[in-house]
Structure 1
Amino acid sequence: MFVFDHLVHRLKHGCETMAYPHGPAPALPDRHGGSLRVDAAKCVAGCSDCLPVCPTAAITQPGPRGVSLDLGRCLFCSACVNVCPSGAVTHTGDHRMAVRSPADLVVGEPGREELRLAAALDEKRLRLFGRSLRLRQVSAGGDGAEEADLNVLGTIGWDLGRFGIQFVASPRHADGLVVTGPVSRNMELALRKTWDAMPAPKLVIAVGTSAISGGPFAGEPAVLGGVAAVLPVDLYIPGWPPHPLTILDGLLRLLGRLEQDRAPAIPAATRP
Protein backbone atom coordinates (compact mmCIF):
# COMPACT_ATOMS: atom_id res chain seq x y z
CA MET A 1 0.00 0.00 0.00
CA PHE A 2 2.87 2.35 0.81
CA VAL A 3 4.39 1.83 -2.64
CA PHE A 4 1.04 2.52 -4.33
CA ASP A 5 0.55 5.74 -2.34
CA HIS A 6 4.07 6.84 -3.24
CA LEU A 7 3.44 6.29 -6.95
CA VAL A 8 0.16 8.21 -6.82
CA HIS A 9 1.93 11.06 -5.03
CA ARG A 10 4.61 11.23 -7.71
CA LEU A 11 2.07 11.15 -10.54
CA LYS A 12 0.19 14.07 -9.01
CA HIS A 13 3.35 16.17 -8.91
CA GLY A 14 4.41 15.29 -12.45
CA CYS A 15 7.86 16.18 -13.80
CA GLU A 16 9.53 18.75 -11.54
CA THR A 17 12.83 18.96 -13.41
CA MET A 18 13.33 22.30 -15.17
CA ALA A 19 13.29 22.39 -18.95
CA TYR A 20 16.60 24.27 -19.18
CA PRO A 21 18.64 24.25 -21.40
CA HIS A 22 15.93 23.33 -23.92
CA GLY A 23 13.57 25.85 -22.36
CA PRO A 24 14.00 29.26 -20.73
CA ALA A 25 16.47 29.52 -17.88
CA PRO A 26 14.99 30.10 -14.43
CA ALA A 27 15.05 33.70 -13.23
CA LEU A 28 17.80 34.73 -10.85
CA PRO A 29 16.73 35.82 -7.35
CA ASP A 30 15.95 39.51 -6.91
CA ARG A 31 19.15 40.09 -4.91
CA HIS A 32 21.35 38.34 -7.48
CA GLY A 33 22.47 40.88 -10.06
CA GLY A 34 24.27 38.34 -12.23
CA SER A 35 27.49 39.20 -14.01
CA LEU A 36 28.96 42.71 -14.03
CA ARG A 37 29.65 44.95 -17.00
CA VAL A 38 32.09 47.85 -17.20
CA ASP A 39 31.58 50.50 -19.89
CA ALA A 40 34.83 52.46 -20.03
CA ALA A 41 33.22 55.11 -22.22
CA LYS A 42 31.00 56.14 -19.30
CA CYS A 43 33.83 56.46 -16.81
CA VAL A 44 34.40 60.03 -15.63
CA ALA A 45 37.98 61.23 -16.09
CA GLY A 46 39.79 61.31 -12.77
CA CYS A 47 37.04 59.42 -10.93
CA SER A 48 38.18 56.55 -8.72
CA ASP A 49 35.19 56.20 -6.37
CA CYS A 50 34.89 52.45 -6.97
CA LEU A 51 38.50 51.60 -6.08
CA PRO A 52 38.48 52.09 -2.29
CA VAL A 53 35.12 50.36 -1.74
CA CYS A 54 36.18 47.05 -3.31
CA PRO A 55 37.01 44.62 -0.47
CA THR A 56 39.30 42.42 -2.60
CA ALA A 57 40.99 45.04 -4.82
CA ALA A 58 39.29 43.47 -7.83
CA ILE A 59 39.09 46.90 -9.48
CA THR A 60 42.16 48.63 -10.89
CA GLN A 61 42.62 51.86 -12.80
CA PRO A 62 45.21 51.41 -15.55
CA GLY A 63 44.89 55.01 -16.80
CA PRO A 64 43.35 58.39 -15.97
CA ARG A 65 40.00 57.20 -17.30
CA GLY A 66 38.32 53.84 -17.08
CA VAL A 67 38.71 50.87 -14.77
CA SER A 68 39.27 47.12 -15.08
CA LEU A 69 37.28 44.66 -13.00
CA ASP A 70 38.55 41.14 -12.34
CA LEU A 71 35.51 38.94 -11.75
CA GLY A 72 37.85 36.21 -10.54
CA ARG A 73 38.49 38.36 -7.46
CA CYS A 74 35.06 39.98 -7.23
CA LEU A 75 32.69 39.16 -4.34
CA PHE A 76 29.68 40.62 -6.21
CA CYS A 77 28.90 42.82 -3.21
CA SER A 78 27.60 45.63 -5.50
CA ALA A 79 29.60 48.31 -3.66
CA CYS A 80 31.18 49.50 -6.92
CA VAL A 81 27.79 49.62 -8.65
CA ASN A 82 26.30 51.67 -5.84
CA VAL A 83 29.04 54.32 -5.75
CA CYS A 84 29.67 54.73 -9.50
CA PRO A 85 28.37 58.22 -10.37
CA SER A 86 28.07 57.61 -14.10
CA GLY A 87 26.68 54.07 -14.24
CA ALA A 88 29.84 52.71 -15.83
CA VAL A 89 29.70 49.59 -13.63
CA THR A 90 26.37 47.77 -13.83
CA HIS A 91 24.75 44.42 -13.21
CA THR A 92 23.68 42.52 -16.31
CA GLY A 93 21.25 40.03 -14.76
CA ASP A 94 23.11 37.36 -16.77
CA HIS A 95 23.94 34.05 -15.09
CA ARG A 96 26.63 33.17 -17.64
CA MET A 97 30.11 33.72 -16.19
CA ALA A 98 32.28 30.61 -16.70
CA VAL A 99 35.51 31.07 -18.68
CA ARG A 100 38.49 28.96 -19.71
CA SER A 101 41.24 31.47 -18.86
CA PRO A 102 41.69 33.85 -15.90
CA ALA A 103 42.46 36.63 -18.38
CA ASP A 104 38.91 36.31 -19.71
CA LEU A 105 37.55 37.23 -16.27
CA VAL A 106 38.80 40.82 -16.61
CA VAL A 107 36.27 43.30 -18.02
CA GLY A 108 36.46 47.03 -18.65
CA GLU A 109 39.19 47.26 -21.25
CA PRO A 110 38.17 48.56 -24.71
CA GLY A 111 36.19 45.85 -26.46
CA ARG A 112 36.06 43.81 -23.25
CA GLU A 113 33.02 45.29 -21.51
CA GLU A 114 31.68 41.79 -20.82
CA LEU A 115 33.10 38.31 -20.28
CA ARG A 116 34.43 36.05 -22.99
CA LEU A 117 32.49 32.91 -22.15
CA ALA A 118 34.01 29.44 -21.96
CA ALA A 119 34.66 27.48 -25.13
CA ALA A 120 34.24 23.71 -25.32
CA LEU A 121 37.02 21.21 -24.73
CA ASP A 122 39.19 20.13 -27.61
CA GLU A 123 37.81 17.42 -29.91
CA LYS A 124 39.76 14.58 -28.29
CA ARG A 125 38.56 15.31 -24.77
CA LEU A 126 35.02 15.98 -25.98
CA ARG A 127 34.91 12.45 -27.37
CA LEU A 128 35.94 11.15 -23.94
CA PHE A 129 33.87 13.37 -21.64
CA GLY A 130 31.12 14.84 -23.82
CA ARG A 131 28.48 12.26 -22.93
CA SER A 132 29.72 11.03 -19.55
CA LEU A 133 31.61 13.12 -17.01
CA ARG A 134 32.39 11.93 -13.49
CA LEU A 135 33.49 14.55 -10.97
CA ARG A 136 35.18 14.37 -7.57
CA GLN A 137 34.67 17.42 -5.39
CA VAL A 138 37.25 18.66 -2.88
CA SER A 139 36.60 21.46 -0.40
CA ALA A 140 40.06 22.97 0.00
CA GLY A 141 39.17 25.32 2.83
CA GLY A 142 35.73 26.28 1.53
CA ASP A 143 33.08 27.95 3.69
CA GLY A 144 30.26 25.63 2.59
CA ALA A 145 28.47 28.08 0.27
CA GLU A 146 29.85 26.75 -3.02
CA GLU A 147 29.46 23.19 -1.74
CA ALA A 148 25.78 23.84 -0.99
CA ASP A 149 25.12 25.12 -4.51
CA LEU A 150 26.89 22.10 -6.01
CA ASN A 151 24.57 19.90 -3.96
CA VAL A 152 21.57 21.75 -5.37
CA LEU A 153 22.49 20.49 -8.85
CA GLY A 154 21.75 16.95 -7.69
CA THR A 155 18.20 17.73 -6.59
CA ILE A 156 15.11 16.80 -8.58
CA GLY A 157 14.63 20.29 -9.98
CA TRP A 158 18.07 20.39 -11.58
CA ASP A 159 18.91 16.68 -12.06
CA LEU A 160 22.54 17.04 -13.13
CA GLY A 161 22.62 13.33 -14.00
CA ARG A 162 20.38 13.85 -17.04
CA PHE A 163 23.39 15.44 -18.74
CA GLY A 164 25.60 12.46 -17.96
CA ILE A 165 27.38 14.42 -15.21
CA GLN A 166 27.71 12.79 -11.79
CA PHE A 167 29.73 13.28 -8.62
CA VAL A 168 31.61 10.21 -7.44
CA ALA A 169 33.11 9.24 -4.09
CA SER A 170 36.50 8.04 -5.30
CA PRO A 171 39.02 10.04 -7.35
CA ARG A 172 39.94 6.78 -9.08
CA HIS A 173 36.50 6.83 -10.71
CA ALA A 174 36.63 10.53 -11.65
CA ASP A 175 37.31 12.37 -14.90
CA GLY A 176 37.42 15.81 -13.32
CA LEU A 177 38.25 17.48 -10.04
CA VAL A 178 35.93 20.22 -8.75
CA VAL A 179 37.67 22.43 -6.19
CA THR A 180 36.07 24.94 -3.83
CA GLY A 181 37.81 27.16 -1.30
CA PRO A 182 41.04 29.19 -1.41
CA VAL A 183 43.23 26.07 -1.00
CA SER A 184 44.52 26.24 2.53
CA ARG A 185 48.04 25.02 3.14
CA ASN A 186 46.61 22.25 5.30
CA MET A 187 44.62 20.98 2.28
CA GLU A 188 47.37 21.25 -0.32
CA LEU A 189 48.68 17.71 0.17
CA ALA A 190 45.18 16.19 0.17
CA LEU A 191 44.36 18.08 -3.03
CA ARG A 192 47.52 16.89 -4.75
CA LYS A 193 46.93 13.29 -3.67
CA THR A 194 43.36 13.42 -4.99
CA TRP A 195 44.64 14.73 -8.31
CA ASP A 196 47.37 12.09 -8.51
CA ALA A 197 44.85 9.32 -7.85
CA MET A 198 42.73 10.32 -10.84
CA PRO A 199 43.39 8.54 -14.14
CA ALA A 200 44.53 10.64 -17.09
CA PRO A 201 43.25 12.51 -19.02
CA LYS A 202 41.57 14.62 -16.35
CA LEU A 203 40.11 18.08 -15.74
CA VAL A 204 40.18 20.71 -12.99
CA ILE A 205 37.24 23.05 -12.37
CA ALA A 206 37.57 25.98 -9.94
CA VAL A 207 34.18 26.91 -8.48
CA GLY A 208 33.83 30.23 -6.70
CA THR A 209 35.95 33.33 -6.24
CA SER A 210 37.91 31.75 -3.40
CA ALA A 211 38.96 28.82 -5.58
CA ILE A 212 39.92 31.15 -8.43
CA SER A 213 41.93 33.81 -6.61
CA GLY A 214 41.61 33.26 -2.87
CA GLY A 215 38.74 35.76 -2.68
CA PRO A 216 38.66 37.61 0.65
CA PHE A 217 41.41 35.31 1.94
CA ALA A 218 43.92 36.20 -0.78
CA GLY A 219 47.29 37.15 0.66
CA GLU A 220 46.73 35.38 3.95
CA PRO A 221 49.65 33.12 4.95
CA ALA A 222 47.33 30.19 5.63
CA VAL A 223 46.10 29.92 2.01
CA LEU A 224 47.71 29.50 -1.39
CA GLY A 225 45.29 31.85 -3.15
CA GLY A 226 43.40 29.56 -5.51
CA VAL A 227 43.62 26.25 -7.31
CA ALA A 228 45.93 27.44 -10.09
CA ALA A 229 48.74 27.70 -7.54
CA VAL A 230 48.62 23.91 -7.25
CA LEU A 231 46.97 22.41 -10.34
CA PRO A 232 46.26 23.36 -13.98
CA VAL A 233 42.69 24.68 -14.25
CA ASP A 234 40.41 24.00 -17.24
CA LEU A 235 37.33 25.97 -16.19
CA TYR A 236 36.82 28.98 -13.92
CA ILE A 237 33.34 29.62 -12.50
CA PRO A 238 33.27 32.95 -10.60
CA GLY A 239 30.84 33.99 -7.90
CA TRP A 240 30.73 34.16 -4.12
CA PRO A 241 29.13 31.72 -4.31
CA PRO A 242 28.15 31.13 -7.95
CA HIS A 243 24.48 30.44 -8.53
CA PRO A 244 23.72 26.77 -9.42
CA LEU A 245 22.64 27.98 -12.86
CA THR A 246 26.06 29.59 -13.36
CA ILE A 247 27.78 26.32 -12.43
CA LEU A 248 25.53 24.27 -14.72
CA ASP A 249 26.04 26.71 -17.58
CA GLY A 250 29.81 26.42 -17.21
CA LEU A 251 29.78 22.64 -17.19
CA LEU A 252 27.55 22.46 -20.25
CA ARG A 253 29.71 24.93 -22.15
CA LEU A 254 32.82 22.91 -21.32
CA LEU A 255 31.11 19.84 -22.79
CA GLY A 256 29.96 21.67 -25.92
CA ARG A 257 26.28 21.53 -24.98
CA LEU A 258 25.68 25.30 -25.20
CA GLU A 259 26.57 27.93 -27.75
CA GLN A 260 28.28 31.12 -26.61
CA ASP A 261 25.55 33.32 -28.03
CA ARG A 262 22.72 31.56 -26.23
CA ALA A 263 20.07 33.95 -24.87
CA PRO A 264 20.71 34.90 -21.23
CA ALA A 265 18.46 34.11 -18.33
CA ILE A 266 15.52 36.30 -17.43
CA PRO A 267 17.16 39.33 -15.75
CA ALA A 268 16.95 39.69 -12.02
CA ALA A 269 14.69 42.41 -10.69
CA THR A 270 16.15 45.92 -10.85
CA ARG A 271 17.90 46.88 -7.65
CA PRO A 272 16.55 49.88 -5.77
Structure 2
Amino acid sequence: MSAATVTGGALHRHLGSRAAAGRSLLVPYVMAGLPGWAELVGEFAAAGADAVEIGLPFSDPILDGPVICEAAERALAGGTTAATVLAELPGLAAQVPLVVMTYSNIVLHRGAPAFCAALRAAGVSGLIVPDVPFAEAAELGGACGAEGIDHVLLAAPSTPPGRLGEVAQRSRGFVYASAVMGTTGVREHLPATAARLAADLKALTGTPVLLGLGISSPASARAAAAVADGVVVGSALVRDVLEGRGPAEVGRRLAALRTALDEA
Protein backbone atom coordinates (compact mmCIF):
# COMPACT_ATOMS: atom_id res chain seq x y z
CA MET A 1 0.00 0.00 0.00
CA SER A 2 1.56 3.28 -1.05
CA ALA A 3 1.35 6.58 0.77
CA ALA A 4 -0.55 8.04 -2.18
CA THR A 5 -3.49 5.69 -1.62
CA VAL A 6 -4.07 6.94 1.92
CA THR A 7 -5.95 10.16 2.54
CA GLY A 8 -5.58 12.07 5.76
CA GLY A 9 -5.58 15.49 7.32
CA ALA A 10 -2.94 18.05 8.20
CA LEU A 11 -1.02 15.78 10.57
CA HIS A 12 -0.93 13.00 7.98
CA ARG A 13 0.39 15.31 5.28
CA HIS A 14 2.90 17.00 7.58
CA LEU A 15 4.47 13.83 8.94
CA GLY A 16 4.24 11.99 5.63
CA SER A 17 6.12 14.69 3.74
CA ARG A 18 8.86 14.86 6.37
CA ALA A 19 9.28 11.09 6.46
CA ALA A 20 9.36 10.95 2.66
CA ALA A 21 12.21 13.47 2.74
CA GLY A 22 14.21 11.07 4.92
CA ARG A 23 13.67 12.70 8.30
CA SER A 24 13.31 10.48 11.38
CA LEU A 25 10.18 11.72 13.11
CA LEU A 26 10.10 12.77 16.76
CA VAL A 27 6.82 13.14 18.67
CA PRO A 28 7.20 14.03 22.37
CA TYR A 29 4.39 13.73 24.92
CA VAL A 30 3.40 16.24 27.57
CA MET A 31 0.75 15.83 30.25
CA ALA A 32 -1.52 18.85 30.15
CA GLY A 33 -1.92 20.49 33.53
CA LEU A 34 1.60 19.92 34.83
CA PRO A 35 3.61 23.04 35.72
CA GLY A 36 4.94 24.69 32.57
CA TRP A 37 3.20 22.29 30.18
CA ALA A 38 2.01 25.01 27.81
CA GLU A 39 5.48 26.54 27.56
CA LEU A 40 6.92 23.07 27.08
CA VAL A 41 4.99 22.64 23.84
CA GLY A 42 6.90 25.58 22.37
CA GLU A 43 10.20 24.25 23.74
CA PHE A 44 9.55 20.90 22.10
CA ALA A 45 8.85 22.52 18.75
CA ALA A 46 12.05 24.55 18.99
CA ALA A 47 14.01 21.42 19.93
CA GLY A 48 13.00 19.63 16.74
CA ALA A 49 9.69 17.90 17.45
CA ASP A 50 7.67 17.06 14.34
CA ALA A 51 4.41 17.04 16.32
CA VAL A 52 3.52 17.16 20.01
CA GLU A 53 1.24 14.69 21.80
CA ILE A 54 -0.91 16.32 24.49
CA GLY A 55 -2.19 14.00 27.21
CA LEU A 56 -5.53 14.81 28.79
CA PRO A 57 -5.42 13.75 32.45
CA PHE A 58 -7.75 10.90 33.31
CA SER A 59 -8.50 9.23 36.63
CA ASP A 60 -8.00 5.67 35.39
CA PRO A 61 -5.29 5.63 32.68
CA ILE A 62 -5.15 1.85 32.41
CA LEU A 63 -2.56 1.72 29.63
CA ASP A 64 -0.14 4.10 31.30
CA GLY A 65 2.66 3.27 33.72
CA PRO A 66 3.48 4.89 37.08
CA VAL A 67 5.09 8.05 35.66
CA ILE A 68 2.14 9.05 33.48
CA CYS A 69 -0.32 7.97 36.18
CA GLU A 70 1.35 10.24 38.73
CA ALA A 71 1.34 13.09 36.22
CA ALA A 72 -2.38 12.61 35.61
CA GLU A 73 -3.10 12.59 39.33
CA ARG A 74 -1.20 15.85 39.83
CA ALA A 75 -2.93 17.52 36.90
CA LEU A 76 -6.38 16.46 38.07
CA ALA A 77 -5.62 17.61 41.61
CA GLY A 78 -4.77 21.01 40.18
CA GLY A 79 -8.18 21.28 38.52
CA THR A 80 -7.22 20.38 34.96
CA THR A 81 -10.01 18.93 32.81
CA ALA A 82 -10.42 18.15 29.14
CA ALA A 83 -12.42 21.36 28.79
CA THR A 84 -9.74 23.55 30.38
CA VAL A 85 -7.03 22.01 28.19
CA LEU A 86 -8.96 22.47 24.96
CA ALA A 87 -9.64 26.07 25.94
CA GLU A 88 -5.89 26.70 26.35
CA LEU A 89 -4.64 24.99 23.21
CA PRO A 90 -5.50 27.77 20.73
CA GLY A 91 -3.27 30.16 22.69
CA LEU A 92 -0.19 27.97 22.58
CA ALA A 93 2.85 28.88 20.51
CA ALA A 94 2.61 25.56 18.69
CA GLN A 95 4.58 25.56 15.45
CA VAL A 96 3.93 21.87 14.79
CA PRO A 97 0.74 19.77 14.72
CA LEU A 98 -0.85 18.81 18.04
CA VAL A 99 -2.13 15.30 18.77
CA VAL A 100 -4.44 14.69 21.74
CA MET A 101 -4.12 11.43 23.65
CA THR A 102 -7.04 10.52 25.88
CA TYR A 103 -9.30 7.69 27.01
CA SER A 104 -12.69 6.64 25.70
CA ASN A 105 -14.68 7.82 28.73
CA ILE A 106 -13.66 11.41 28.05
CA VAL A 107 -14.66 11.10 24.39
CA LEU A 108 -17.96 9.41 25.20
CA HIS A 109 -18.84 12.05 27.80
CA ARG A 110 -19.40 14.54 24.97
CA GLY A 111 -20.00 12.02 22.20
CA ALA A 112 -17.46 11.38 19.48
CA PRO A 113 -18.81 13.96 16.96
CA ALA A 114 -18.92 16.77 19.54
CA PHE A 115 -15.52 15.85 20.97
CA CYS A 116 -13.89 15.81 17.55
CA ALA A 117 -15.52 19.14 16.69
CA ALA A 118 -14.03 20.58 19.90
CA LEU A 119 -10.61 19.24 18.91
CA ARG A 120 -10.86 20.94 15.54
CA ALA A 121 -11.91 24.22 17.15
CA ALA A 122 -8.87 23.97 19.46
CA GLY A 123 -6.50 23.51 16.51
CA VAL A 124 -5.78 19.82 17.15
CA SER A 125 -4.72 17.68 14.17
CA GLY A 126 -4.73 14.14 15.57
CA LEU A 127 -6.35 11.91 18.19
CA ILE A 128 -5.15 8.78 20.03
CA VAL A 129 -7.64 6.81 22.15
CA PRO A 130 -5.86 3.57 23.07
CA ASP A 131 -8.68 1.87 24.98
CA VAL A 132 -11.25 1.91 22.17
CA PRO A 133 -11.66 -1.69 20.96
CA PHE A 134 -10.62 -2.04 17.33
CA ALA A 135 -14.05 -3.38 16.41
CA GLU A 136 -15.54 -0.07 17.62
CA ALA A 137 -12.85 2.22 16.22
CA ALA A 138 -14.55 2.80 12.87
CA GLU A 139 -17.22 5.03 14.43
CA LEU A 140 -14.61 7.19 16.14
CA GLY A 141 -12.55 7.25 12.96
CA GLY A 142 -15.57 8.52 11.06
CA ALA A 143 -16.16 11.30 13.58
CA CYS A 144 -12.49 12.26 13.32
CA GLY A 145 -12.56 12.27 9.54
CA ALA A 146 -15.63 14.50 9.47
CA GLU A 147 -13.65 17.17 11.33
CA GLY A 148 -10.33 16.69 9.53
CA ILE A 149 -8.76 15.01 12.57
CA ASP A 150 -6.35 12.14 11.94
CA HIS A 151 -7.25 9.06 14.02
CA VAL A 152 -4.00 7.37 15.09
CA LEU A 153 -4.31 3.64 15.78
CA LEU A 154 -2.01 1.45 17.86
CA ALA A 155 -0.42 -1.90 17.11
CA ALA A 156 1.33 -4.20 19.57
CA PRO A 157 3.72 -7.14 19.20
CA SER A 158 0.76 -9.40 19.99
CA THR A 159 -1.53 -7.98 17.27
CA PRO A 160 -2.54 -10.83 14.91
CA PRO A 161 -1.31 -10.48 11.29
CA GLY A 162 -4.76 -9.92 9.85
CA ARG A 163 -5.61 -7.25 12.37
CA LEU A 164 -2.17 -5.67 11.87
CA GLY A 165 -3.03 -5.06 8.24
CA GLU A 166 -6.30 -3.39 9.17
CA VAL A 167 -4.57 -1.15 11.71
CA ALA A 168 -1.90 -0.19 9.20
CA GLN A 169 -4.44 0.69 6.52
CA ARG A 170 -6.88 2.58 8.74
CA SER A 171 -4.48 4.61 10.88
CA ARG A 172 -4.01 8.24 9.87
CA GLY A 173 -1.19 10.63 10.76
CA PHE A 174 1.03 7.77 11.84
CA VAL A 175 0.80 4.21 13.11
CA TYR A 176 1.68 4.00 16.79
CA ALA A 177 3.73 0.82 17.22
CA SER A 178 4.10 -0.30 20.84
CA ALA A 179 7.69 -1.37 21.34
CA VAL A 180 6.69 -3.66 24.21
CA MET A 181 3.68 -5.43 25.64
CA GLY A 182 2.60 -3.48 28.68
CA THR A 183 2.14 0.08 29.85
CA THR A 184 4.09 3.24 29.17
CA GLY A 185 7.37 3.66 31.02
CA VAL A 186 11.11 4.29 30.87
CA ARG A 187 13.14 1.36 29.54
CA GLU A 188 16.80 0.96 28.74
CA HIS A 189 16.72 -1.27 25.67
CA LEU A 190 14.63 -1.75 22.56
CA PRO A 191 13.36 -5.36 22.45
CA ALA A 192 13.65 -7.48 19.31
CA THR A 193 9.85 -7.60 19.07
CA ALA A 194 9.84 -3.86 18.33
CA ALA A 195 11.98 -4.26 15.21
CA ARG A 196 9.79 -7.07 13.92
CA LEU A 197 6.60 -5.10 14.52
CA ALA A 198 7.97 -2.00 12.79
CA ALA A 199 9.11 -4.02 9.78
CA ASP A 200 5.75 -5.76 9.49
CA LEU A 201 3.86 -2.47 9.63
CA LYS A 202 6.13 -0.70 7.15
CA ALA A 203 5.49 -3.51 4.69
CA LEU A 204 1.76 -2.85 4.97
CA THR A 205 1.49 0.94 4.68
CA GLY A 206 3.20 4.08 3.50
CA THR A 207 1.90 5.93 6.56
CA PRO A 208 4.80 6.68 8.97
CA VAL A 209 5.34 4.02 11.63
CA LEU A 210 6.51 5.41 14.99
CA LEU A 211 7.75 3.31 17.88
CA GLY A 212 6.72 4.27 21.40
CA LEU A 213 6.53 2.89 24.96
CA GLY A 214 9.97 2.91 26.49
CA ILE A 215 11.99 5.13 24.13
CA SER A 216 13.93 7.24 26.62
CA SER A 217 17.56 7.72 25.60
CA PRO A 218 19.57 8.73 22.53
CA ALA A 219 20.68 5.09 22.18
CA SER A 220 17.13 3.70 22.19
CA ALA A 221 16.00 6.48 19.82
CA ARG A 222 18.76 5.59 17.36
CA ALA A 223 17.86 1.91 17.58
CA ALA A 224 14.21 2.70 16.92
CA ALA A 225 15.04 4.98 13.99
CA ALA A 226 16.94 2.14 12.36
CA VAL A 227 13.74 0.09 12.04
CA ALA A 228 10.88 2.64 12.08
CA ASP A 229 10.09 6.09 10.72
CA GLY A 230 10.57 7.71 14.12
CA VAL A 231 9.68 7.63 17.79
CA VAL A 232 7.17 8.78 20.38
CA VAL A 233 8.80 9.76 23.68
CA GLY A 234 6.72 10.22 26.81
CA SER A 235 7.59 8.92 30.26
CA ALA A 236 11.23 10.07 30.26
CA LEU A 237 10.15 13.65 29.55
CA VAL A 238 7.21 13.58 31.97
CA ARG A 239 9.49 12.22 34.69
CA ASP A 240 11.74 15.24 34.24
CA VAL A 241 8.77 17.56 34.76
CA LEU A 242 7.64 15.64 37.85
CA GLU A 243 11.15 15.96 39.27
CA GLY A 244 10.98 19.73 38.93
CA ARG A 245 12.92 20.39 35.74
CA GLY A 246 11.71 23.41 33.83
CA PRO A 247 10.62 23.60 30.19
CA ALA A 248 14.02 24.76 28.92
CA GLU A 249 15.84 21.85 30.59
CA VAL A 250 13.31 19.28 29.39
CA GLY A 251 13.57 20.82 25.94
CA ARG A 252 17.31 20.19 25.99
CA ARG A 253 16.69 16.50 26.66
CA LEU A 254 14.47 16.39 23.61
CA ALA A 255 17.10 18.22 21.55
CA ALA A 256 19.57 15.45 22.43
CA LEU A 257 17.10 12.89 21.12
CA ARG A 258 16.66 14.95 17.94
CA THR A 259 20.42 14.93 17.43
CA ALA A 260 20.54 11.16 17.93
CA LEU A 261 17.80 10.66 15.34
CA ASP A 262 19.52 12.94 12.85
CA GLU A 263 22.76 10.99 13.27
CA ALA A 264 21.12 7.56 12.98
TM-score by length of 2: 0.31
TM-score by length of 1: 0.30
Rg (Cα) greater in structure: 1
